[in-house]
Amino acid sequence: SGYTDKGGHHSGDFLRISHIIRNVQNDGVILRGIRLRRTMFFNGMLERKLNEVAIVIHSDADDARPALQQGLEEVSLEEVVAVRELILTNHKFPSLSFRDEVFWNGKPIWATNLLDMDYKTQAPLVCRWVVNYVYEDPTTRKKGLLGHTMIRTLQEAECDEKLSIPDSELRSQWRNDNAKEQLSHHREEKEMANQLKRYRAQRRNRSNAKLEQAMSGLSIADAMDVDDPGTSITPSRTPLEEVVDLTIDQDKEEIETMESEKITRHLSSRGTYVRHMRTSCVESFTPAPAKTTQAAINLDDECAPTSVSRKRVRFEEPPSNLASTKRPTLRISSLPDESQILEFSVNTHQPSDASPLKRAGPAISPPEITFIDVFSGAGGVSRGAISVGLKIRSAIDSDKAACDTYIANFPATNVFQMLVQDFPPPDFDCYHVVAHFSPPCQYFSPAHTRAGQNDDANTAALFTLSPQLCNARPYVGTMEETSGLITHHREYMHAAIQMFTHNGCSVVWKLCNFAEYGLVQPRKRVLLMFAAPGCPLPPLPIPTHGPKSPSRRPFVTIHEAISNIPVDSPYHVPEFYSVADRRRPYNPHQQLKGCILTTGVKGAHNYHPSGLRKWTVHELARLQGFPDEHVWGEKGAIKQIGNAFPPVIAKCFLASVKNVAEQILCEIAGAPAEIRQTSNRVEWKPAPGSQWVRKDQTVAI
């Protein structure tokens, strides 16, 4: 299948053959295998790269077989166009492709025909992705009712032999790539500060030298310029004991790069400074031997000291791929030579491929799972994160009233009232384990029927996902948006997915009805879960509520949601919400007919079941899934409730995310993890009448 492009080249799909089946009755040959498709045909969800392909699978959720086994397809031998070479790998693009000259060096086909080759038809295909379309059952598949979609990277066990990267290395690259850039920027700033210090010290010491010359009877005209490194001063009366030329930088820096670590050695007249970069950062300072002819000069002090104490300083920091929130321990001990050791130590966690640290005393618990809430609003997602045990470290939103409400509920969190485009502020470590994104949904909402003044800002906020993903570098996380992103603005949905896949993240998304997860209203939203390179995807939670079914509970009713509200609640004063015209009462033992928006409930049930009044703030908060302890401000409470992500739904999805985050941190710490993502790799057995072919046989169809 497929088509021929303008150059006459085939641009269809490919088949990774697992069986060749021959029909003994008519001698027909059927090929069975996994379908692959060029990434240019996924509507922008994957980047358009020449000869990059992805495995395409259609599977059913109620089928117990692995997805790769369900995805087997059969084609006739007559449909085959050509035989192609295929590479299965989890390396980052462009490694192992025809662009990687280092990998292909030495192969005859590349050494002789590299410039003249037609890459599209002759160069190897590289597969790094699996696109899985999941349906609830065969009936919904026939109707075309898609359940959810998953785009993930190939697992280590699914790659070709010797062409894979361990998951631990992928996780390390995910965190350290950005850390190297920040470290380089920090070194540049530090070097500029040191140059400024040396310049000020030079000016200060030039003034001191001229003063000594004047005191010794020299005239300024007779003295040579101290700034000239090639000159010297010959005093006519009392000579100076020694003149130090401070315009010459006597400090030299040597950088040695080894396979297992990076060592930076800084030599100066005061001593030797050594910095080791491995899984931890160790810095040491060894004082230089004392000299009898000249005292060491500390350029960082306003006045040079008369004596210099010998010190050795060592810093031990955690690896850059972990965000530690605990305060370090500080201890000082004495040495026999009266020098001092200042130790700054934080509990470090070795990666999974390293030997575990040997510590005395009780076992150290895994680090806290830090959480960042981007587009936090009044704190709906954060309320759900606290309920599952996540440590909320940061929250970002531009609305002042929403930030005030958030601070009132989560006073220990770093709240940033700013545009997301301006985050993070300088000198803020924004690495987190889990992240959530809730971009503004006004423009993408199905209720948005006319242009608004904030449309440009709301659409621009969606495209901050990629830079914020690079800033926070989370291992796993979630994103929530209105259903209109799929139903009315699918091109924006595809662009949002590409922002995750561009950074090597696996994603799974679904159009969810929140009533199926315990919310009283039929609120439909797009829920997306993602995982960083080398991390397993969190599984989508199974719906818990629905129509009459032995496996599901009944839908939550209005009466269950708003009953037993505390009498002394300041947000529940029914007398203030009475209406002059009595409306028709309705049965509260049913679902809410309508959805909560920024102006209240939109739909048939936009008033209290009694028909005498409107909904109170506390009742709207209950209908949106907020607990009673959540505090609301004096202004904009109904708007904040309508914009909020229901905490009861956030709890359901973040519980799945937390389980995967715990697994990842346990693997990094070297502890055994109980949760493992099962591999979809299948070992096939030949069926009667079939014949094995080579493992890497791939044909164009």
The amino acid occupying position 671 is: A
| Distance in Å from the first CA to the final CA of the chain | 5
> Strand ranges (DSSP E) for 39-100?
52-60, 72-76, 82-84, 86-88
Distance from C-alpha of 543 to C-alpha of 560, rounded to nearest angstrom? 19
Cβ(51)–Cβ(664) under 8 Å?
Answer: no
Cβ(223)–Cβ(243) under 8 Å?
Answer: no
Distance from C-alpha of 670 to C-alpha of 665, rounded to nearest angstrom? 9
Cis peptide before 94 (omega within 30 of 0): yes
Which one of the listed residues 127, 159, 403, 441 is annotated catalytic? Answer: 441
Give CA angle at 83 (81, 89), nearest 5°: 125
The amino acid occupying position 539 is: P
Q: How many CB atoms lie within 10 A of CB 447?
A: 11
The amino acid occupying position 12 is: G
Residue 441 a catalytic site member: yes
Q: Output DSSP code: residue 157.
A: G
Token pair listed for 166: 């361990």
Q: Output DSSP code: residue 520.
A: S
Token pair listed for 186: 């920090």
Q: Rounded to whole angstroms, what are the CA distances from 49 to 200, 537, 612?
A: 54, 24, 62
The amino acid occupying position 476 is: V
Distance from C-alpha of 536 to C-alpha of 657, rounded to nearest angstrom? 10
Q: Output DSSP code: residue 466.
A: H
Q: How many CB atoms lie within 10 A of CB 121?
A: 14
Give CA angle at 393 (518, 669), nearest 5°: 95
Cis peptide before 446 (omega within 30 of 0): no
Give the phi and the psi of residue 566 in degrees, each rounded to 5: -55, 140
Q: How many CB atoms lie within 10 A of CB 72?
A: 18
DSSP helix/strand/coil, 697: coil
- CB neighbour list of residue 533: distance below 8 Å, 6 or more residues apart: 90, 92, 153, 170, 171, 173, 174, 504, 505
Q: Rounded to whole angstroms, what are the CA distances from 482 to 375, 444, 458, 492?
A: 14, 7, 13, 12
DSSP helix/strand/coil, 487: helix
Cβ(484)–Cβ(445) under 8 Å?
Answer: yes
Q: Output DSSP code: residue 178.
A: H
Q: CB-hemisphere CA count at 13 Å for 669?
A: 21
Distance from C-alpha of 113 to C-alpha of 122, rounded to nearest angstrom? 10
β-strand 311-317 against 281-287: which pairing, if any? Answer: antiparallel
Which residue numbers are catalytic?
441
